[in-house]
Homo-oligomer: A and B are copies of this chain.
């Protein structure tokens, strides 16, 4: 018996059939999910493509219509669109349905989206750590969540039964689930994901500003370091808006670390500079053991 048989949903509506939403549908089908998957989105041609690829069973551009029979609604669009979308579908949700998401920020989402749920509908926040720089359905893959972490962020009021179903769902697509409070999640991911993205965009722009004919000389080091600058700008704008306080906190740390190193170079304090580099090199080892 495939592990997918344990999936407690019959009709899943995915809002945003891109890299994450599409991969989620593909992973479910690979695990033997026999229910119906409805894809919802603004662009009809994308939905037609997803259906042709067998990723979804049917689709609609009318969100309220598309979710009305669903017992699970997955929000897989940039976080800035969540509130508007949830307000437009809440009147049509089936009693007992669960709403979940894949957003990279959690505190404001849990705070804003949770209270919008109608009686008998529950929201559970989640964040699968499985991005790619390439976006859209053509980058989706059934194995995207395999062995990846999925952070589940219950709040104080989160319904336990709904929470368990969401945990099982992510385990079924191969993820290792972890619990964090929404606030803890947002600080940690501001540091290890949001800050690096902002820094990558910044690094590219600063090289371009120096001379726009220099960037192409970059080798593997620069390519690896700036790969995440290929991520969708709209998505990262929203993440900055929704995790503003934490991102500003991490940006302050980065600025002062750069200012400190600049000072050491200016004053030719090579001993202290090497110590600074060595400290980073030693700390960085931890990411090699993963």
Residues of chain A whose beta carbon lies under 8 Å from any beta carbon of chain B: 129, 131, 148-149, 187-189, 191-193, 195-212, 214-234, 236-237, 240-241, 244, 247-259, 261-262, 265-266, 268, 270, 273-281, 283-288, 290
**Which listed residue, B129, B223, B226, touches A219 by the CB 8 Å rule?**
B129
In the assembled complex, which residues on chain B have CB atoms less than 8 Å from the CB atom of A199?
199, 203, 225, 258
Residues from chain B with a CB closer than 8 A to the CB of A129 are 219
CB distance from A261 to the nearest CB of B (A): 6
Decide if A237 touches B283 in the complex (CB within 8 Å): no
Complex Cα distance, B281 from A286, in Å, reads: 29
Closest to A246 in B: B210
| A232 to B21 CA separation, bound complex (whole angstroms) | 41
With A and B bound together, what is the CA distance between A270 and B238 in angstroms? 8
Assuming A273-B237, A287-B215, is B193 touching A221 (CB within 8 A)? yes
The contact sample of 14 A-B pairs, CB cut-off 8 A, is A131-B219, A131-B221, A149-B219, A191-B214, A203-B257, A206-B253, A206-B256, A206-B257, A208-B280, A210-B250, A215-B283, A226-B287, A230-B285, A247-B265
Quote the shortest CB–CB distance from A129 to chain B (angstroms). Answer: 5
For the complex, give the distance between the alpha carbons of A220 and B147 in Å.
Answer: 13
Contact A241 B229 (CB under 8 A): no
For the complex formed, measure the closest distance between the CB of A56 and the CB atoms of chain B, giving whole angstroms. Answer: 27
Q: Chain B CB within 10 Å — which of A202, A233, A266 has the most?
A: A202
Q: A196-B221, A241-B270 are in contact. Are A251 and B265 (CB under 8 A)?
A: yes
Q: How far is the CB of A26 from chain B (nearest CB, A)?
A: 19
Task: Give which listed residue, B208, B252, B285, contacts A283 with CB less than 8 A.
Answer: B208
- The minimal Cβ–Cβ distance linking A111 to chain B, given in whole angstroms, is 18
